Chains A and B, each alone.
Chain A
Amino acid sequence: MTVYLLRRILQSLMVLLAMSVIVFVGVYAIGDPVEILISPDADQMERERAIAALGLDLPLWQQYLVFLQNALRGDLGRSFVFNEPALQLILNRMPATLELAFGAMFLSVLIGLPLGLYAGLKPESIGSRVIMAGSILGFSLPTFWVGLMLIMVFAVQLGWLPSSGRGETVQILGLHWSFLTANGWSHLAMPAFNLALFKISLVIRLTRSGVREAMLMDYVKFARAKGLSPARVTFVHVFKNILIPVVTVVGLELGSTIAFSVVTETVFAWPGMGKLIIDSINVLDRPVIVAYLMVIVLMFITINLIVDILYSVLDPRVRLESKA
């Protein structure tokens, strides 16, 4: 286990290093941040001053070395736009995104699992067919459009829910959370559902195919032959076995939900990290882009690790040592 963990950490460091190089070169190739940030009527002297102030007058490799030096001391640089530490900017936005992502994952399991189970147990019923057709829609409708439609129906036409923003927040441990107020929930409902739509469909399909496969297994037949109630067969024997793929996918999807909730955050003006990163890319705010990707890579690595560990808990046949 220890060897396995060490190896994973070493791999992660390599990934981080490679990623930072790619971002540096990438941003450099796209364009010049000063051209974008500077006021159009700045004269040539002012432009030179700004380039020097942001440290962009050095050759790229030197800029990178400066960054590495500071990064080793835990300083990922200051945002060109906000003049605040990039990491702090991201961490300030994180609660909003985490709320949204966990809300979406919660919804996808809450809605997806029962529907998937039903569709798997009664594949021929009309209800199942409706569910499966609905899941195709969930897969294929673009998030952007669905978000706008939700706003049109529930905010503009019916006026039930607020169209955008985060609502009231409560401060805990220095961070702002909105899931503790009713107003916060009403703001969270639509964006979380919008983000969850794809995952719900995914969970439905995974669960359904898992159930259909498991129902044909010998252990299910045996359990039935033993005279166990259908409920016990379903919820104890079948359910446990279909959870492994679901856990894996939900875990991985959680990462991508946190990292790439950009579209939903933009449509609903949700002040999370996704909105920050898209704004930062638009103005080539390199320190924020680098720091954001670092945080995301770290997060993916951690989630993968947790999924692997959960695996071994759920399925005794999997042992982490054997991989190492």
Chain B
Amino acid sequence: MAINTRGRKLAAGAVMGAAMALAAHGAQAQNLNMAVGAPVTSLDPHYHQLSPNNAAAGMIFDRLINTDGDARMQPGLAESWRAIEPNVWEFRLRRGVTFHNGNPFTAEDVAFTFQRVPNVPNSPSSFAAFVRPITNVEIVDSHTLRITTQNPSPLLPQDMTNIFILDRETHENATTEQFNSGQAAIGTGPFRVVSHTMGDRIEFARNDSYFGTRPAWATVNYRMITNGGARTAALLSGDVDFIDQVPTPDLARVRADRRLAVSEKVGLRLIFLGLDHLREDASPFITDNNGQPIARNPLRDLRVRQALSIAIDRPAIANRVMEGSATPSAQFLPPGVFSHIPNYAPPAPDAARARALLAEAGFPEGFRITLHGPNNRYPNDGRIVQAVGQMWTRIGVRTTVEAQPWTTFVGRAGRQEFSAFLIGWGSNPEGSHPVRNILATANRDRGWGASNRGRYSNPEVDRRLEAALVEIDDARREAILQEAQRIALDDVGIIPLHIQTNIWAMRNTLQHEARADELTRAQDVRPR
């Protein structure tokens, strides 16, 4: 009898212990500790156009049109939108949405947001360009909006995926500092801000009245650990459950660890080589084999550019240097994205043909060139530059490699100081974005070619871009943009290398909807 009682007590104790452990586990499972590699510089969603800021803002605020993991447009605060005239778009807004402080969301708030966007003081990179085409915003009723643009504007919905909507009542005079302190960081998004320590962490709590899918986490601790090794260590030691930007040297170890899981997605960032198209005469970093300047710029010759492109063994770079976290590419956008060119693969590496092309162009002995690049901007950037340098040297273009910090590099590249340089470009999922910024002839008044650092210029490309920018019909616009890209890429305006794969790592009890746009957000993470 006595033994029996004791046994029962023990059993009861064991059950209680188990129940408590479960409860504790439940409480733990409600909290997500995550670490990101790039610091969020502001919680003001209109202050600084920067991916990490957009990721954090995407947890607090919503846009009229949100984007899914494949960068396709999905209804956000707008339920539907359509062009009622070539230059008028009508947006039907979602009803019954409230901000974190209980204020209702209406068309007024959208109109207010458009006014605020270009007027954020001291912004180092504003969102103004996205609202610049708008000439009039008409509030039809509390949840219908008509937006008029100067010219037919097929890209307006795409632009709207960049603008986070604020509340007129709450944010009328809100300053960036008030957002940063968390006081004004009030949106309609899935999470509320609890506290923010600049450059260290943001603490979030679930917004229980969110209109979309309910997030799995009651609280989120969003930490910024910029050092890659430290970020991996934090995951391995269990300090955090989820990290982004897994450093390529740690990738093999993370994949092999059974306690961990990895999610990945081919991104929208192309790594490519820019070439000096500006100069007819001598290019600053090109000489003949005796070190004497060459009177004409060899890079102006298509055959030389082709030779430099087919000399590169892209799969070797993607597999060895990038450890598999990149896909060789001959164009800006990966398959499945609007205006990707089908069946347009990178050329197979062919050193013999490259040499023949050089000889045809009048450089049978090759020449000397310096290839510049950053060494702290993209994964393995310095090593990619070295690899390309060796491949070029193999075909007789003796290449000196110079990798330097991004701070110095980017200014010099922008002043056309280099002959050839490595750089990257993160595209919007729409071909006009890279064509307009990288391939179009630089022109201040049109806002074209702002990042065309090699000053490639081709009237055929410009003409098609001009047509695409006012073509409302998606199918026709896609065809025009594919053609514009094909012309520039056949002409080797740039030398594409690869598209990066975005990689996240987490405990194997979690799952993550990987995003092409590199944004790391807590609502994309769920228990498995």
C-alpha gap A276/B197 in the complex (Å): 12
A158: nearest chain-B partner, CB-CB = B237
CB distance from A94 to the nearest CB of B (A): 13
Known: A43-B129, A271-B200. A54 touches B233 (CB 8 A): no
Contact A37 B124 (CB under 8 A): yes
CB pair A34 B124 closer than 8 Å: yes
B41 at the interface (CB under 8 A from A): yes
Let me know if A269 and B225 touch, CB within 8 A.
yes
B230–A156 CB distance below 8 A: no
Q: How far is the CB of A158 from chain B (nearest CB, A)?
A: 9
B176 — which chain A residues lie within 8 A by C-beta? 83-84
Pair B125/A44 contact, Cβ less than 8 Å: no
Known: A40-B437, A83-B122, A282-B407. A269 touches B226 (CB 8 A): yes
Chain A, Cβ-Cβ closest to B235: A163
Min CB distance, A189 to chain B, in Å? 14
Given the contacts A40-B437, A42-B125, A81 and B230 also touching, CB distance less than 8 Å: no
Q: Identify the stretch in A45-53, A121-129, A210-218, A245-253 within 8 Å (CB) of chain B at 4 or more residues.
A: A45-53
Is A75 an interface position by the 8 A CB rule?
Answer: no
Task: Kindly list chain A residues whose C-beta atoms are within 8 Å of the C-beta of B225.
Answer: 164-165, 269
Interface residues of B in 202-233 (CB under 8 A from A): 223-227, 229-231, 233
Instruction: List the one stretch of A14-22, A147-155, A201-209, A221-229 in contact with chain B.
Output: A147-155
CA distance A47 to B447 in the complex (A): 10
Flag whether A261 is at the interface (Cβ < 8 A).
no
8 A Cβ contacts from A118-161 to B: 148, 151-152, 155-156, 159
Do A155 and B450 touch (CB < 8 A)? Answer: no
Q: Is residue B393 within 8 Å, beta carbon to beta carbon, of the partner chain?
A: no
Instruction: Give the size range of A's interface with the partner.
Output: 35 or more
For window 18-67 of chain A, which residues contact chain B by CB distance below 8 Å? 30-47, 49-50, 53-54
Task: Given the known inter-chain contacts A46-B125, A163-B234, please indicate yes or no for A283 contacting B426, CB distance below 8 A.
Answer: no
Residues from chain A with a CB closer than 8 A to the CB of B125 are 37-39, 42, 46, 50
* Cβ of B49 under 8 Å from chain A: yes
Residue contact A92 to B198, C-beta cutoff 8 Å: yes
By a CB distance below 8 angstroms, the chain B residues around A275 are 199, 226
B407 touching A266, Cβ below 8 Å: no
Query: CA separation between A53 and B41, bound complex, in Å?
Result: 17
Q: Is there an interface contact between A80 and B226, defined as CB atoms closer than 8 Å? A: no
State whether the Cβ of B47 lies closer than 8 Å to any Cβ in chain A: yes
Q: Does B459 contact A (CB under 8 A)?
A: no
Give bound CA distance, A162 to B221, whole Å.
15
Contact B450 A41 (CB under 8 A): yes
**B180 interface residue per 8 A CB criterion:** yes
A residues near B293, Cβ cutoff 8 Å: none
- C-alpha gap A156/B39 in the complex (Å): 24
How far is A54 from B120 in the complex, measured between Cα atoms in Å?
Answer: 12
Q: Specify the chain A residue showing the minimal Cβ separation from B33.
A: A165
Pick from B180, B224, B227, B450: contact of A42, CB below 8 A.
B450
Which residues of A in the span 139-198 have a Cβ within 8 Å of any Cβ on B? 148, 151-152, 155-156, 159, 162-166, 176
Tell me, in angstroms, the Cα distance from A148 to B39 when the chains sit together. Answer: 21
Contact of B237 among A34, A155, A166 (CB under 8 A): A155
- Is B335 interfacial (CB 8 A cutoff)? no
Is the pair B200, A83 in contact by a Cβ cutoff of 8 Å?
Answer: no
Other-chain residue from A31, A35, A41, A49 in contact with B128 (beta carbon distance below 8 A)? A49
The contact sample of 8 A-B pairs, CB cut-off 8 A, is A39-B49, A41-B129, A49-B126, A50-B126, A80-B122, A82-B180, A89-B198, A163-B233
Q: Which 7 A-B pairs have the closest CB atoms?
A: A43-B447, A271-B200, A37-B124, A155-B237, A39-B49, A31-B411, A44-B444
Interface residues of B (CB under 8 A from A): 35, 39, 41-42, 44, 47-50, 121-126, 128-129, 176-177, 180, 197-201, 223-227, 229-231, 233-234, 236-239, 376, 405-408, 410-412, 414, 425-426, 428, 433, 437, 442, 444, 447-448, 450-451
